[in-house]
Structure 1
Amino acid sequence: MSLNAALAVIAAYLIGSISFAIVFSKLFQLADPRSYGSGNPGATNVLRSGNKAAALLTLLFDALKGGVPVWLAAQLGFGSDVLGAVALAAFLGHLYPVWHRFQGGKGVATALGVLVGLSWQLALAALLTFGVVVKLSRYVSLASISAAFVATLASALLRGIDAVTLAVLAMALLLVWRHRANVARLRAGTESKLGASKAA
């Protein structure tokens, strides 16, 4: 890997390490998202604060920090090996941010941003899968995991088994790991459904 490629990967990780859930919570004078709800520094937990604007901005910028580094790497003419490394680095930055003691979020928005940066077809496949699974099951966690694996399959069909496809597969596996508590609740039948009341 060349020096420029290595710098691109490092930059992607550092950008991915910016926790916009924490950034926007501070800007909107909200509690640290790691201190309430699920403790996850992501848009869904920020939404639990009741501030929809902060949650929406968190979602947008978490996606951008995944998509922009990948898009820039593609514009700079890097090959699939570097694109895959940049994509995975940005995603890992969100999961294990150096700026926040390596305690990050689950990575759904950042993964979507990465897919947009890689290919609109991959992002569309993931979004359609997410929408269908949520519609049928009402489980956001199941929809997120399903979308990640469909994106992997779509990448394999479009690109073959290259560094980008392997990076997308690695992100899918990491999403399962980060959602392991949700998976356990799904298996036990205790996972919360979208739109369900707290009492239910």
Structure 2
Amino acid sequence: MFESVAPWIAYAAAAVLGYVLGSIPFGLLLTRAAGLGDVRSIGSGNIGATNVLRTGNRKLAAATLLFDLLKGTAAVLAVRMLMPQAPEADALAGVAAFLGHLFPVWLGFKGGKGVATYIGVLLGLFWPAVLIFAGIWIAVAYFSRYSSLAALIATVAVPLALWGLGENLLAAVFAGLTVIVWLKHRANIRRLLAGTEGRIGHKS
């Protein structure tokens, strides 16, 4: 479809497509469709799966997690298929999808924290690294019982693993995404340091 356009147009289209896909607020749409109101009015006010879980509907939370993940993967794969003449345009689309999830224009640039979409982009760009992420997340979550801590440590491990595997460009990309994830988790980090972060399986 875009094979004959100039590379710079393909890159611009990749960024726009990635952002639009990433900015779809599945958590908000699913909770409203289920008659649960605006998920932004409860808990952290976030549109991600963790806050959707605070509605008490685990199925909706799982669906939100899945869709937030897959929109990152979809952005990467769609651009890879549509714009083969633009090297690394798929990575650009992935970054744009991640930023779209965090800063959706439709919601006043107030979106989620990005972990699910981070994983989805990783799945599209270098799927073996998802196994590394999952293994570290499971191990840290099992021993600490902190989901946020597990995610934060796993995001640090990903760029290091990519660098060790010789994927230097992707390592740089995910190092940048990791910094943003940590910035979006500032409140969680403060609670972890204070010992007040909620543990997995513990009701507040």
Deviations 1:131-174 (CA, angstroms, capped at 9, x unpaired): 11101111111111111111111221223421x22221111111
The corresponding residue for 2:197 is 191
Verify: 1:140 aligned to 2:147, yes or no.
yes
Asked if 2 retains the 8 angstrom alpha-carbon contact of 1:84 and 1:165, the reply is no
The corresponding residue for 2:114 is 107
Q: Whole-Å Cα distance in 1 between the matches of residues 194 and 59 of structure 2?
A: 34
Q: Whole-Å Cα distance in 1 between the matches of residues 59 and 150 of structure 2?
A: 24
Q: Whole-Å Cα distance in 1 between the matches of residues 167 and 121 of structure 2?
A: 18
- Identify the match of residue 23 of structure 1 among 19, 29, 46: 29
Asked if 2 retains the 8 angstrom alpha-carbon contact of 1:18 and 1:97, the reply is yes
- Identify the match of residue 125 of structure 1 among 122, 126, 132: 132
Q: Whole-Å Cα distance in 2 between the matches of residues 126 and 99 of structure 1?
A: 30
- Identify the match of residue 95 of structure 2 among 88, 93, 106: 88
The corresponding residue for 2:123 is 116
5+ long unaligned stretches in structure 2: 1-6
Q: Whole-Å Cα distance in 2 between the matches of residues 3 and 159 of structure 1?
A: 29
Give the secondary-structure state (helix, strand or coil) at the position aligned to 2:163. helix
The corresponding residue for 1:56 is 62
User: How well do the aligned residues superpose, as a CA RMSD in angstroms?
Assistant: 1.4
Deviations 1:4-52 (CA, angstroms, capped at 9, x unpaired): 1210111101110111001101111112111001211111111111222
Once the two structures are aligned, what percentage of the paired residues are identical?
A: 41
The corresponding residue for 2:47 is 41
Query: Aligned AA for 1:157?
Result: G
TM score, norm. by length of structure 1: 0.92
The corresponding residue for 1:165 is 171
TM score, norm. by length of structure 2: 0.91
5+ long unaligned stretches in structure 1: none
Q: Whole-Å Cα distance in 2 between the matches of residues 159 and 88 of structure 1?
A: 20
- Pairs aligned (count): 196
Q: Whole-Å Cα distance in 1 between the matches of residues 15 and 53 of structure 2?
A: 31
Query: Aligned AA for 1:53?
Result: K
Give how far 1:190 is off: 1.7
Q: Whole-Å Cα distance in 2 between the matches of residues 59 and 147 of structure 1?
A: 17
Give the secondary-structure state (helix, strand or coil) at the position aligned to 1:18. coil
The corresponding residue for 1:151 is 158
Query: Aligned AA for 2:31?
Result: S
